[in-house]
Amino acid sequence: MYRYDEFDARIVSERVAQFRGQVDRRLSGELLEDEFKPLRLQNGVYLQLHAYMLRVAIPYGQLNGRQLRQLAIVARDYDRNYGHFTTRQNIQFNWVALKDIPDVLAKLAEVEMHAIQTSGNCIRNVTSDHFAGATKDELMDPRPWCEIIRQWSTFHPEFAFLPRKFKIAVTAAEHDRAAIRVHDIGLHIRKRGDVVGFEVHVGGGQGRTPHLATLVNEFVPEAELLDYLEAIMRVYNRFGRRDNKYKARIKILVSELGEAEFRRLVDAEYAAQRENEKIDLPQAEIDRIHAYFSPPKLAAKSDTSAAFEALKAEDAEFARWARINLHPHKTPGYTSVTVSLKPIGGLAGDATDAQMMTVAHLAETYAYDDIRVSHAQNLVLPHVALDDLPDVYREMKAAGLHTANESLITDMIVCPGLDYCNLANARSIPVGQAVQQVFADPDYQEDIGRLHINISGCINACGHHHVGHIGILGVDKKGEEFYQITFGGRADEKAAIGDIAGPGLKADDVPGALKRVVDTYRELRADKSELFIETLARLGHDPFKEALYAAG
Protein backbone atom coordinates (compact mmCIF):
# COMPACT_ATOMS: atom_id res chain seq x y z
CA MET A 1 0.00 0.00 0.00
CA TYR A 2 1.00 3.64 -0.34
CA ARG A 3 3.17 4.96 2.51
CA TYR A 4 3.49 8.62 3.43
CA ASP A 5 6.64 10.40 2.47
CA GLU A 6 7.86 13.22 4.71
CA PHE A 7 5.87 15.76 2.72
CA ASP A 8 2.61 13.84 3.29
CA ALA A 9 3.39 13.42 6.98
CA ARG A 10 4.09 17.12 7.37
CA ILE A 11 0.94 18.38 5.69
CA VAL A 12 -1.22 16.00 7.72
CA SER A 13 0.38 16.98 11.04
CA GLU A 14 0.22 20.66 10.13
CA ARG A 15 -3.48 20.24 9.40
CA VAL A 16 -4.01 18.69 12.85
CA ALA A 17 -2.28 21.65 14.50
CA GLN A 18 -4.32 24.09 12.42
CA PHE A 19 -7.60 22.38 13.34
CA ARG A 20 -6.61 22.29 17.02
CA GLY A 21 -6.34 26.07 16.93
CA GLN A 22 -9.70 26.36 15.18
CA VAL A 23 -11.40 24.13 17.76
CA ASP A 24 -9.88 26.17 20.60
CA ARG A 25 -11.26 29.33 19.05
CA ARG A 26 -14.67 27.72 18.58
CA LEU A 27 -14.81 26.59 22.21
CA SER A 28 -13.85 30.04 23.45
CA GLY A 29 -16.66 31.55 21.37
CA GLU A 30 -14.17 33.49 19.24
CA LEU A 31 -15.35 31.57 16.17
CA LEU A 32 -19.10 31.38 15.61
CA GLU A 33 -20.67 28.18 14.32
CA ASP A 34 -21.34 29.73 10.91
CA GLU A 35 -17.64 30.54 10.64
CA PHE A 36 -16.48 27.24 12.09
CA LYS A 37 -18.78 24.96 10.11
CA PRO A 38 -16.85 25.08 6.80
CA LEU A 39 -13.61 24.54 8.73
CA ARG A 40 -14.90 21.50 10.61
CA LEU A 41 -16.43 20.04 7.47
CA GLN A 42 -13.05 20.27 5.75
CA ASN A 43 -11.85 18.02 8.54
CA GLY A 44 -14.67 15.48 8.35
CA VAL A 45 -16.61 16.77 11.36
CA TYR A 46 -20.41 16.87 11.06
CA LEU A 47 -22.98 17.80 13.69
CA GLN A 48 -25.52 14.97 13.68
CA LEU A 49 -28.74 14.29 15.55
CA HIS A 50 -27.11 13.30 18.84
CA ALA A 51 -23.52 14.48 18.63
CA TYR A 52 -20.60 15.36 16.41
CA MET A 53 -19.71 12.71 13.87
CA LEU A 54 -16.15 12.28 12.58
CA ARG A 55 -15.66 10.71 9.17
CA VAL A 56 -12.16 9.34 8.61
CA ALA A 57 -10.79 8.75 5.12
CA ILE A 58 -9.78 5.25 4.11
CA PRO A 59 -8.34 5.79 0.61
CA TYR A 60 -10.00 3.30 -1.76
CA GLY A 61 -10.94 1.28 1.30
CA GLN A 62 -7.46 -0.03 2.08
CA LEU A 63 -6.13 -0.38 5.64
CA ASN A 64 -3.30 -2.23 7.32
CA GLY A 65 -3.52 -3.90 10.73
CA ARG A 66 -1.86 -1.03 12.55
CA GLN A 67 -4.35 1.44 11.11
CA LEU A 68 -7.39 -0.68 11.97
CA ARG A 69 -6.02 -1.19 15.48
CA GLN A 70 -5.68 2.58 15.84
CA LEU A 71 -9.29 3.01 14.69
CA ALA A 72 -10.28 0.49 17.38
CA ILE A 73 -8.37 2.53 19.98
CA VAL A 74 -10.16 5.69 18.86
CA ALA A 75 -13.50 3.86 19.15
CA ARG A 76 -12.60 2.66 22.63
CA ASP A 77 -11.04 5.82 24.04
CA TYR A 78 -13.03 8.58 22.36
CA ASP A 79 -16.31 7.01 21.23
CA ARG A 80 -18.69 4.32 22.46
CA ASN A 81 -16.59 1.29 21.54
CA TYR A 82 -17.64 1.04 17.90
CA GLY A 83 -17.35 2.60 14.48
CA HIS A 84 -19.47 2.54 11.33
CA PHE A 85 -17.99 1.60 7.93
CA THR A 86 -19.62 3.51 5.09
CA THR A 87 -20.51 3.07 1.43
CA ARG A 88 -17.59 5.39 0.59
CA GLN A 89 -15.27 2.81 2.13
CA ASN A 90 -14.63 5.21 5.04
CA ILE A 91 -15.33 4.93 8.77
CA GLN A 92 -17.48 7.20 10.93
CA PHE A 93 -17.42 7.72 14.68
CA ASN A 94 -20.81 8.76 16.01
CA TRP A 95 -20.22 10.15 19.48
CA VAL A 96 -16.87 11.86 19.53
CA ALA A 97 -16.64 15.17 21.46
CA LEU A 98 -15.43 18.20 19.54
CA LYS A 99 -12.89 19.02 22.25
CA ASP A 100 -11.28 15.59 21.68
CA ILE A 101 -11.22 15.61 17.88
CA PRO A 102 -7.79 17.26 17.52
CA ASP A 103 -6.35 14.48 19.72
CA VAL A 104 -8.14 11.86 17.62
CA LEU A 105 -6.74 13.37 14.43
CA ALA A 106 -3.25 13.37 15.96
CA LYS A 107 -3.66 9.67 16.75
CA LEU A 108 -4.77 9.01 13.20
CA ALA A 109 -1.79 10.95 11.82
CA GLU A 110 0.50 8.55 13.71
CA VAL A 111 -0.75 5.78 11.40
CA GLU A 112 -0.92 7.85 8.20
CA MET A 113 -4.63 8.60 8.37
CA HIS A 114 -6.71 11.77 8.36
CA ALA A 115 -10.20 13.14 7.77
CA ILE A 116 -9.32 15.67 5.06
CA GLN A 117 -11.79 15.98 2.14
CA THR A 118 -14.25 13.55 3.69
CA SER A 119 -16.82 16.33 3.54
CA GLY A 120 -17.39 19.62 1.80
CA ASN A 121 -17.65 20.57 -1.85
CA CYS A 122 -14.43 18.95 -2.94
CA ILE A 123 -13.24 15.68 -4.48
CA ARG A 124 -14.00 13.04 -1.87
CA ASN A 125 -12.40 9.68 -1.12
CA VAL A 126 -11.71 7.79 -4.35
CA THR A 127 -13.35 4.38 -4.16
CA SER A 128 -12.57 1.13 -5.90
CA ASP A 129 -13.10 -2.60 -6.13
CA HIS A 130 -12.64 -4.09 -2.66
CA PHE A 131 -10.99 -7.14 -4.26
CA ALA A 132 -8.47 -4.96 -6.15
CA GLY A 133 -5.07 -6.54 -6.59
CA ALA A 134 -6.42 -9.98 -5.67
CA THR A 135 -9.36 -10.84 -7.89
CA LYS A 136 -9.03 -13.13 -10.85
CA ASP A 137 -11.29 -11.04 -13.06
CA GLU A 138 -9.36 -7.75 -13.13
CA LEU A 139 -7.27 -6.44 -16.00
CA MET A 140 -4.83 -4.94 -13.51
CA ASP A 141 -4.76 -3.52 -10.01
CA PRO A 142 -6.73 -0.22 -10.03
CA ARG A 143 -5.31 1.02 -6.69
CA PRO A 144 -2.20 2.75 -8.11
CA TRP A 145 -4.53 4.89 -10.22
CA CYS A 146 -6.74 5.59 -7.23
CA GLU A 147 -3.64 6.77 -5.40
CA ILE A 148 -2.52 8.94 -8.31
CA ILE A 149 -5.98 10.53 -8.41
CA ARG A 150 -5.92 10.92 -4.62
CA GLN A 151 -2.61 12.78 -4.74
CA TRP A 152 -3.74 14.96 -7.63
CA SER A 153 -7.07 15.84 -5.98
CA THR A 154 -5.83 16.39 -2.42
CA PHE A 155 -5.63 20.13 -1.72
CA HIS A 156 -5.93 20.83 -5.46
CA PRO A 157 -6.26 24.63 -5.23
CA GLU A 158 -8.57 24.92 -8.22
CA PHE A 159 -11.07 22.37 -6.94
CA ALA A 160 -11.40 23.30 -3.27
CA PHE A 161 -14.74 25.11 -3.78
CA LEU A 162 -16.66 23.11 -6.33
CA PRO A 163 -20.39 23.69 -6.80
CA ARG A 164 -20.98 20.50 -4.78
CA LYS A 165 -19.25 17.35 -3.55
CA PHE A 166 -17.55 15.16 -6.14
CA LYS A 167 -17.07 11.41 -6.11
CA ILE A 168 -14.76 9.30 -8.29
CA ALA A 169 -14.65 5.50 -8.52
CA VAL A 170 -12.23 3.26 -10.41
CA THR A 171 -12.52 -0.37 -11.48
CA ALA A 172 -10.47 -2.69 -13.65
CA ALA A 173 -12.80 -5.71 -13.59
CA GLU A 174 -15.58 -6.57 -16.03
CA HIS A 175 -17.91 -7.20 -13.10
CA ASP A 176 -18.14 -3.73 -11.61
CA ARG A 177 -18.00 -3.87 -7.82
CA ALA A 178 -17.24 -0.14 -7.50
CA ALA A 179 -20.57 1.16 -8.85
CA ILE A 180 -18.82 3.42 -11.37
CA ARG A 181 -22.02 4.27 -13.28
CA VAL A 182 -23.47 6.07 -10.26
CA HIS A 183 -20.45 8.26 -9.59
CA ASP A 184 -19.67 11.82 -10.69
CA ILE A 185 -16.78 10.25 -12.59
CA GLY A 186 -16.49 6.51 -13.06
CA LEU A 187 -13.29 5.13 -14.57
CA HIS A 188 -12.90 1.69 -16.08
CA ILE A 189 -9.31 0.71 -16.85
CA ARG A 190 -8.91 -0.74 -20.37
CA LYS A 191 -6.04 -1.73 -22.61
CA ARG A 192 -5.56 -1.05 -26.34
CA GLY A 193 -2.64 -3.16 -27.40
CA ASP A 194 -0.02 -2.39 -24.79
CA VAL A 195 -1.40 1.01 -23.93
CA VAL A 196 -3.30 1.36 -20.67
CA GLY A 197 -6.15 3.82 -20.67
CA PHE A 198 -9.46 4.76 -19.13
CA GLU A 199 -13.06 4.54 -20.22
CA VAL A 200 -14.56 7.68 -18.66
CA HIS A 201 -18.15 7.89 -17.45
CA VAL A 202 -19.42 11.22 -16.14
CA GLY A 203 -22.54 12.47 -14.41
CA GLY A 204 -23.85 9.48 -12.53
CA GLY A 205 -25.24 9.80 -9.05
CA GLN A 206 -28.05 8.98 -6.68
CA GLY A 207 -29.75 11.40 -4.30
CA ARG A 208 -33.04 13.11 -5.17
CA THR A 209 -32.39 13.02 -8.93
CA PRO A 210 -30.67 9.75 -9.77
CA HIS A 211 -28.77 9.54 -13.06
CA LEU A 212 -26.63 6.91 -14.68
CA ALA A 213 -23.31 8.24 -15.91
CA THR A 214 -22.77 9.06 -19.58
CA LEU A 215 -19.84 7.52 -21.41
CA VAL A 216 -17.90 10.60 -22.53
CA ASN A 217 -14.65 9.03 -23.66
CA GLU A 218 -13.93 5.42 -24.55
CA PHE A 219 -10.19 5.60 -24.09
CA VAL A 220 -7.99 8.20 -22.45
CA PRO A 221 -4.36 7.01 -22.41
CA GLU A 222 -2.93 6.73 -18.91
CA ALA A 223 -0.37 9.51 -19.30
CA GLU A 224 -3.19 11.94 -20.17
CA LEU A 225 -5.64 10.89 -17.47
CA LEU A 226 -5.02 13.81 -15.14
CA ASP A 227 -5.29 16.28 -18.03
CA TYR A 228 -8.63 14.79 -18.95
CA LEU A 229 -9.87 14.84 -15.36
CA GLU A 230 -8.75 18.48 -15.07
CA ALA A 231 -10.76 19.29 -18.17
CA ILE A 232 -13.91 17.69 -16.74
CA MET A 233 -13.44 19.41 -13.39
CA ARG A 234 -12.91 22.79 -15.05
CA VAL A 235 -16.07 22.48 -17.10
CA TYR A 236 -17.96 21.50 -13.97
CA ASN A 237 -16.37 24.23 -11.86
CA ARG A 238 -17.24 26.86 -14.46
CA PHE A 239 -20.70 25.76 -15.56
CA GLY A 240 -21.99 23.70 -12.64
CA ARG A 241 -24.94 25.39 -10.94
CA ARG A 242 -24.22 27.24 -7.74
CA ASP A 243 -27.67 28.84 -7.45
CA ASN A 244 -29.45 25.72 -6.27
CA LYS A 245 -27.87 23.10 -4.02
CA TYR A 246 -30.18 20.45 -5.41
CA LYS A 247 -29.07 21.11 -8.97
CA ALA A 248 -25.39 21.57 -8.29
CA ARG A 249 -24.03 18.07 -8.92
CA ILE A 250 -22.32 17.37 -12.25
CA LYS A 251 -25.12 14.93 -13.16
CA ILE A 252 -27.46 17.91 -13.54
CA LEU A 253 -24.94 19.77 -15.70
CA VAL A 254 -24.45 16.78 -18.00
CA SER A 255 -28.19 16.29 -18.20
CA GLU A 256 -28.99 19.97 -18.85
CA LEU A 257 -26.24 20.46 -21.44
CA GLY A 258 -26.81 17.13 -23.12
CA GLU A 259 -24.16 14.58 -23.89
CA ALA A 260 -22.86 16.19 -27.09
CA GLU A 261 -22.46 19.70 -25.69
CA PHE A 262 -20.89 18.47 -22.47
CA ARG A 263 -18.40 16.40 -24.47
CA ARG A 264 -17.66 19.37 -26.73
CA LEU A 265 -16.87 21.58 -23.72
CA VAL A 266 -14.66 18.93 -22.14
CA ASP A 267 -12.85 18.28 -25.42
CA ALA A 268 -12.19 22.00 -25.90
CA GLU A 269 -10.87 22.33 -22.35
CA TYR A 270 -8.81 19.17 -22.81
CA ALA A 271 -7.27 20.49 -26.02
CA ALA A 272 -6.38 23.76 -24.33
CA GLN A 273 -4.96 21.91 -21.36
CA ARG A 274 -2.84 19.67 -23.60
CA GLU A 275 -1.56 22.68 -25.49
CA ASN A 276 -0.87 25.05 -22.63
CA GLU A 277 -0.25 23.27 -19.35
CA LYS A 278 -0.38 19.55 -19.83
CA ILE A 279 0.47 17.40 -16.86
CA ASP A 280 1.56 14.35 -18.88
CA LEU A 281 2.34 11.99 -16.05
CA PRO A 282 5.94 10.79 -16.49
CA GLN A 283 6.30 7.03 -16.73
CA ALA A 284 8.79 7.13 -13.84
CA GLU A 285 6.12 8.64 -11.61
CA ILE A 286 3.49 6.10 -12.72
CA ASP A 287 6.02 3.34 -11.95
CA ARG A 288 6.95 4.84 -8.60
CA ILE A 289 3.32 4.79 -7.43
CA HIS A 290 2.75 1.30 -8.82
CA ALA A 291 5.70 0.03 -6.78
CA TYR A 292 3.77 0.74 -3.57
CA PHE A 293 1.14 -1.76 -4.70
CA SER A 294 3.38 -4.69 -5.60
CA PRO A 295 1.48 -7.91 -4.94
CA PRO A 296 2.36 -9.68 -1.68
CA LYS A 297 4.94 -12.43 -2.04
CA LEU A 298 2.57 -15.37 -1.79
CA ALA A 299 4.22 -18.77 -1.23
CA ALA A 300 3.44 -21.22 -4.02
CA LYS A 301 0.49 -23.45 -3.13
CA SER A 302 -1.55 -26.11 -4.84
CA ASP A 303 -5.12 -25.41 -5.93
CA THR A 304 -6.58 -27.37 -3.06
CA SER A 305 -5.97 -27.51 0.65
CA ALA A 306 -6.36 -30.64 2.77
CA ALA A 307 -7.05 -28.66 5.95
CA PHE A 308 -9.71 -26.58 4.21
CA GLU A 309 -11.40 -29.61 2.62
CA ALA A 310 -11.33 -31.54 5.90
CA LEU A 311 -13.10 -28.80 7.87
CA LYS A 312 -15.67 -28.33 5.10
CA ALA A 313 -16.46 -32.06 5.30
CA GLU A 314 -16.98 -32.04 9.05
CA ASP A 315 -18.52 -28.59 9.69
CA ALA A 316 -21.56 -27.74 7.56
CA GLU A 317 -21.70 -24.18 8.89
CA PHE A 318 -18.09 -23.60 7.81
CA ALA A 319 -18.78 -25.21 4.43
CA ARG A 320 -21.71 -22.82 3.90
CA TRP A 321 -19.59 -19.82 4.87
CA ALA A 322 -16.88 -20.98 2.46
CA ARG A 323 -19.45 -21.30 -0.36
CA ILE A 324 -20.73 -17.77 0.22
CA ASN A 325 -18.02 -15.50 1.65
CA LEU A 326 -14.97 -16.45 -0.45
CA HIS A 327 -14.00 -14.81 -3.73
CA PRO A 328 -11.63 -16.36 -6.32
CA HIS A 329 -8.04 -15.14 -6.02
CA LYS A 330 -5.67 -14.78 -8.96
CA THR A 331 -3.08 -16.99 -7.22
CA PRO A 332 -3.74 -20.73 -6.82
CA GLY A 333 -4.23 -21.80 -3.20
CA TYR A 334 -5.43 -18.36 -2.07
CA THR A 335 -8.77 -16.63 -1.68
CA SER A 336 -10.32 -13.31 -0.69
CA VAL A 337 -12.43 -13.46 2.47
CA THR A 338 -15.44 -11.25 3.14
CA VAL A 339 -15.76 -10.46 6.83
CA SER A 340 -19.47 -9.79 7.10
CA LEU A 341 -20.54 -6.80 9.17
CA LYS A 342 -24.17 -7.80 8.64
CA PRO A 343 -25.10 -10.22 11.41
CA ILE A 344 -28.83 -10.92 11.50
CA GLY A 345 -30.44 -8.19 13.60
CA GLY A 346 -27.20 -6.23 13.82
CA LEU A 347 -26.29 -2.77 12.54
CA ALA A 348 -24.98 -2.86 8.97
CA GLY A 349 -21.38 -1.71 8.75
CA ASP A 350 -20.83 -1.38 12.50
CA ALA A 351 -17.83 -3.02 14.15
CA THR A 352 -16.88 -2.89 17.82
CA ASP A 353 -13.37 -2.02 18.94
CA ALA A 354 -12.83 -5.69 19.84
CA GLN A 355 -13.95 -6.81 16.38
CA MET A 356 -11.62 -4.30 14.73
CA MET A 357 -8.77 -5.66 16.87
CA THR A 358 -9.65 -9.19 15.76
CA VAL A 359 -9.60 -8.28 12.07
CA ALA A 360 -6.33 -6.37 12.52
CA HIS A 361 -4.81 -9.46 14.13
CA LEU A 362 -6.10 -11.73 11.36
CA ALA A 363 -4.70 -9.42 8.72
CA GLU A 364 -1.28 -9.32 10.32
CA THR A 365 -1.18 -13.05 11.03
CA TYR A 366 -2.76 -14.58 7.95
CA ALA A 367 -3.48 -11.95 5.34
CA TYR A 368 -0.32 -10.06 4.42
CA ASP A 369 -1.42 -7.10 6.53
CA ASP A 370 -4.04 -6.05 4.02
CA ILE A 371 -7.66 -5.15 4.85
CA ARG A 372 -10.31 -3.58 2.64
CA VAL A 373 -13.58 -1.86 3.37
CA SER A 374 -16.22 -2.67 0.76
CA HIS A 375 -18.81 -0.17 -0.45
CA ALA A 376 -21.38 -2.70 0.75
CA GLN A 377 -20.14 -1.98 4.30
CA ASN A 378 -18.21 -5.19 4.94
CA LEU A 379 -14.52 -5.84 5.51
CA VAL A 380 -12.36 -7.97 3.24
CA LEU A 381 -9.12 -9.87 3.76
CA PRO A 382 -7.97 -9.98 0.13
CA HIS A 383 -5.12 -12.50 0.40
CA VAL A 384 -5.66 -15.58 2.58
CA ALA A 385 -4.20 -19.04 1.97
CA LEU A 386 -6.86 -21.77 1.78
CA ASP A 387 -4.75 -23.67 4.34
CA ASP A 388 -5.32 -20.87 6.87
CA LEU A 389 -9.10 -20.60 6.44
CA PRO A 390 -9.95 -22.95 9.36
CA ASP A 391 -7.92 -20.80 11.78
CA VAL A 392 -9.19 -17.55 10.29
CA TYR A 393 -12.79 -18.78 10.52
CA ARG A 394 -12.46 -19.92 14.13
CA GLU A 395 -11.13 -16.53 15.18
CA MET A 396 -13.83 -14.70 13.21
CA LYS A 397 -16.54 -16.91 14.71
CA ALA A 398 -15.36 -16.13 18.25
CA ALA A 399 -15.76 -12.42 17.42
CA GLY A 400 -19.17 -12.78 15.74
CA LEU A 401 -17.74 -11.97 12.31
CA HIS A 402 -18.62 -15.21 10.54
CA THR A 403 -22.10 -14.47 9.12
CA ALA A 404 -22.38 -16.29 5.79
CA ASN A 405 -24.27 -13.76 3.71
CA GLU A 406 -21.98 -11.93 1.28
CA SER A 407 -24.23 -10.55 -1.54
CA LEU A 408 -27.21 -12.48 -0.19
CA ILE A 409 -30.51 -10.89 0.77
CA THR A 410 -29.46 -10.11 4.37
CA ASP A 411 -26.25 -8.37 3.21
CA MET A 412 -28.15 -5.09 3.03
CA ILE A 413 -26.71 -1.62 2.59
CA VAL A 414 -28.33 0.45 5.33
CA CYS A 415 -27.79 4.14 6.02
CA PRO A 416 -27.81 5.39 9.64
CA GLY A 417 -31.28 6.90 9.11
CA LEU A 418 -33.23 8.83 11.72
CA ASP A 419 -31.54 6.93 14.55
CA TYR A 420 -28.42 9.01 13.96
CA CYS A 421 -28.75 11.38 11.03
CA ASN A 422 -29.79 15.01 11.20
CA LEU A 423 -31.10 14.92 7.62
CA ALA A 424 -33.09 11.66 7.74
CA ASN A 425 -36.88 11.54 7.59
CA ALA A 426 -37.32 7.95 8.70
CA ARG A 427 -35.43 5.17 10.40
CA SER A 428 -33.47 2.67 8.32
CA ILE A 429 -31.74 0.42 10.83
CA PRO A 430 -34.75 -1.19 12.56
CA VAL A 431 -36.51 -1.72 9.23
CA GLY A 432 -33.36 -3.33 7.84
CA GLN A 433 -33.14 -5.55 10.90
CA ALA A 434 -36.77 -6.61 10.56
CA VAL A 435 -36.26 -7.44 6.88
CA GLN A 436 -33.16 -9.47 7.79
CA GLN A 437 -35.19 -11.42 10.36
CA VAL A 438 -37.73 -12.74 7.83
CA PHE A 439 -34.93 -13.97 5.58
CA ALA A 440 -32.65 -15.14 8.40
CA ASP A 441 -32.85 -18.88 7.70
CA PRO A 442 -29.49 -19.74 6.06
CA ASP A 443 -31.00 -22.33 3.68
CA TYR A 444 -33.69 -19.88 2.61
CA GLN A 445 -31.13 -17.13 1.96
CA GLU A 446 -28.91 -19.42 -0.03
CA ASP A 447 -31.85 -20.65 -2.06
CA ILE A 448 -32.81 -17.04 -2.92
CA GLY A 449 -29.26 -16.36 -4.08
CA ARG A 450 -27.76 -12.96 -4.88
CA LEU A 451 -30.26 -10.25 -4.15
CA HIS A 452 -29.34 -6.75 -3.00
CA ILE A 453 -31.76 -4.88 -0.78
CA ASN A 454 -30.64 -1.33 -0.02
CA ILE A 455 -32.38 1.10 2.31
CA SER A 456 -32.10 4.88 2.80
CA GLY A 457 -33.81 6.99 5.44
CA CYS A 458 -34.19 9.99 3.14
CA ILE A 459 -33.96 11.08 -0.46
CA ASN A 460 -30.23 11.77 -0.20
CA ALA A 461 -29.85 8.03 -0.83
CA CYS A 462 -26.81 7.29 1.34
CA GLY A 463 -28.17 3.73 1.57
CA HIS A 464 -28.02 3.42 -2.25
CA HIS A 465 -31.70 2.45 -2.51
CA HIS A 466 -31.87 3.53 -6.17
CA VAL A 467 -29.46 0.76 -7.16
CA GLY A 468 -30.73 -2.01 -4.90
CA HIS A 469 -32.39 -4.89 -6.75
CA ILE A 470 -35.03 -4.00 -4.20
CA GLY A 471 -34.74 -0.48 -2.84
CA ILE A 472 -36.41 0.90 0.25
CA LEU A 473 -36.75 4.65 0.80
CA GLY A 474 -38.00 6.00 4.12
CA VAL A 475 -40.26 9.04 3.87
CA ASP A 476 -42.11 11.14 6.40
CA LYS A 477 -45.84 11.65 5.98
CA LYS A 478 -47.21 14.02 8.59
CA GLY A 479 -44.91 12.69 11.27
CA GLU A 480 -45.32 9.03 10.38
CA GLU A 481 -42.65 6.87 8.71
CA PHE A 482 -43.53 5.24 5.38
CA TYR A 483 -41.34 3.17 3.10
CA GLN A 484 -41.39 3.37 -0.68
CA ILE A 485 -40.24 0.25 -2.52
CA THR A 486 -38.34 0.24 -5.82
CA PHE A 487 -37.58 -2.70 -8.09
CA GLY A 488 -34.88 -3.28 -10.66
CA GLY A 489 -31.98 -1.11 -9.58
CA ARG A 490 -28.46 -2.37 -9.93
CA ALA A 491 -25.02 -0.91 -9.29
CA ASP A 492 -22.86 -3.16 -11.43
CA GLU A 493 -21.89 -3.10 -15.14
CA LYS A 494 -25.59 -3.34 -16.02
CA ALA A 495 -26.37 -0.36 -13.79
CA ALA A 496 -29.98 0.75 -13.57
CA ILE A 497 -32.09 3.02 -11.38
CA GLY A 498 -34.96 1.19 -9.70
CA ASP A 499 -38.60 1.99 -10.47
CA ILE A 500 -40.99 2.95 -7.71
CA ALA A 501 -43.51 0.14 -7.23
CA GLY A 502 -46.37 2.21 -5.80
CA PRO A 503 -47.56 3.75 -2.54
CA GLY A 504 -45.34 3.57 0.53
CA LEU A 505 -45.78 0.91 3.18
CA LYS A 506 -45.83 1.20 6.95
CA ALA A 507 -42.65 -0.05 8.61
CA ASP A 508 -44.36 -3.11 10.09
CA ASP A 509 -45.65 -4.16 6.67
CA VAL A 510 -42.30 -4.00 4.86
CA PRO A 511 -40.77 -7.37 5.87
CA GLY A 512 -43.90 -9.39 5.05
CA ALA A 513 -44.41 -7.57 1.76
CA LEU A 514 -40.83 -8.24 0.69
CA LYS A 515 -41.17 -11.89 1.67
CA ARG A 516 -44.18 -12.16 -0.65
CA VAL A 517 -42.14 -10.58 -3.45
CA VAL A 518 -39.23 -12.93 -2.91
CA ASP A 519 -41.45 -16.00 -2.69
CA THR A 520 -43.10 -14.92 -5.93
CA TYR A 521 -39.65 -14.82 -7.49
CA ARG A 522 -38.91 -18.34 -6.20
CA GLU A 523 -42.10 -19.57 -7.86
CA LEU A 524 -41.52 -17.76 -11.15
CA ARG A 525 -37.79 -18.09 -11.72
CA ALA A 526 -36.80 -20.20 -14.73
CA ASP A 527 -34.48 -22.22 -12.54
CA LYS A 528 -32.36 -21.73 -9.46
CA SER A 529 -29.56 -20.10 -11.40
CA GLU A 530 -31.79 -17.22 -12.52
CA LEU A 531 -31.27 -14.34 -10.09
CA PHE A 532 -34.14 -12.19 -8.79
CA ILE A 533 -32.95 -9.27 -10.92
CA GLU A 534 -32.96 -11.48 -14.02
CA THR A 535 -36.44 -12.85 -13.39
CA LEU A 536 -37.60 -9.27 -12.86
CA ALA A 537 -36.09 -8.25 -16.21
CA ARG A 538 -37.62 -11.24 -18.00
CA LEU A 539 -41.15 -10.96 -16.59
CA GLY A 540 -41.47 -7.27 -15.83
CA HIS A 541 -42.39 -5.75 -12.49
CA ASP A 542 -46.14 -6.46 -12.41
CA PRO A 543 -46.14 -9.89 -10.72
CA PHE A 544 -43.87 -8.50 -8.03
CA LYS A 545 -45.92 -5.35 -7.50
CA GLU A 546 -48.97 -7.53 -7.12
CA ALA A 547 -47.19 -9.62 -4.49
CA LEU A 548 -45.94 -6.49 -2.72
CA TYR A 549 -49.44 -5.10 -2.23
CA ALA A 550 -51.31 -8.39 -1.76
CA ALA A 551 -53.11 -8.62 1.58
CA GLY A 552 -50.72 -10.04 4.15
Q: Which residues bind another protein (CB under 8 A)?
A: 26-30, 32-33, 37, 47-52, 80-82, 95-99, 346-347, 350, 352, 354, 418-420, 422, 427, 429-430, 433, 478-479, 481
- Burial letters 302-330, b for 16+ CB under 10 A, else e: eeebeebeebbeeeeebbbbbebbbbebb
Q: How far is the CB of 458 from another protein (least distance, A)?
A: 12
Nearer of residues 164 and 516 to another protein, judged by Cβ: 164
Q: How far is the CB of 424 from another protein (least distance, A)?
A: 8
CB atoms within 10 A of CB 123: 24
**In 3-state terms, what secondary structure has residue 417?**
helix
Nearer of residues 37 and 301 to another protein, judged by Cβ: 37
Q: How far is the CB of 339 from another protein (least distance, A)?
A: 16
Cα torsion 150, 140, 378, 459: sign: positive
Distance of CA 541 to the CA centre of its chain: 28
Instruction: Give the Cα separation of 19 and 205 in Å (integer).
Output: 31
Q: How far is the CB of 402 from another protein (least distance, A)?
A: 16
Q: How far is the CB of 53 from another protein (least distance, A)?
A: 8
Q: How far is the CB of 47 from another protein (least distance, A)?
A: 5
Q: How far is the CB of 454 from another protein (least distance, A)?
A: 18
Any idea how long the chain is? 552
**Are the C-beta atoms of 260 and 232 separated by less than 8 Å?**
no
Nearer of residues 96 and 231 to another protein, judged by Cβ: 96
Nearer of residues 142 and 432 to another protein, judged by Cβ: 432
| Residues whose CB is less than 8 angstroms from the CB of residue 320 and which lie 6 or more positions away in sequence, other chains included | 404, 442, 446
Nearer of residues 79 and 138 to another protein, judged by Cβ: 79
Nearer of residues 27 and 526 to another protein, judged by Cβ: 27
Distance of CA 24 to the CA centre of its chain: 33
Nearer of residues 43 and 171 to another protein, judged by Cβ: 43
- Closest of 40, 260, 254, 60 to residue 146, by C-alpha: 60
Nearer of residues 257 and 475 to another protein, judged by Cβ: 475
Instruction: Give the Cα separation of 550 and 547 in Å (integer).
Output: 5
Q: How far is the CB of 478 from another protein (least distance, A)?
A: 7
- For 497: left if phi > 0, alpha if psi spans -120 to 50, otherwise beta; the answer is beta
| 168 beta partners | 185
Instruction: Give the Cα separation of 65 and 372 in Å (integer).
Output: 11
Nearer of residues 335 and 433 to another protein, judged by Cβ: 433
| Residues whose CB is less than 8 angstroms from the CB of residue 482 and which lie 6 or more positions away in sequence, other chains included | 426, 474, 475, 476, 504, 505, 506
Q: How far is the CB of 342 from another protein (least distance, A)?
A: 12
Q: How far is the CB of 529 from another protein (least distance, A)?
A: 35
Nearer of residues 18 and 48 to another protein, judged by Cβ: 48
Long-range pairs of 8-12 with CB within 8 A, sequence gap ≥ 24: 8/112, 9/109, 9/112, 11/155, 12/109, 12/112, 12/114, 12/116
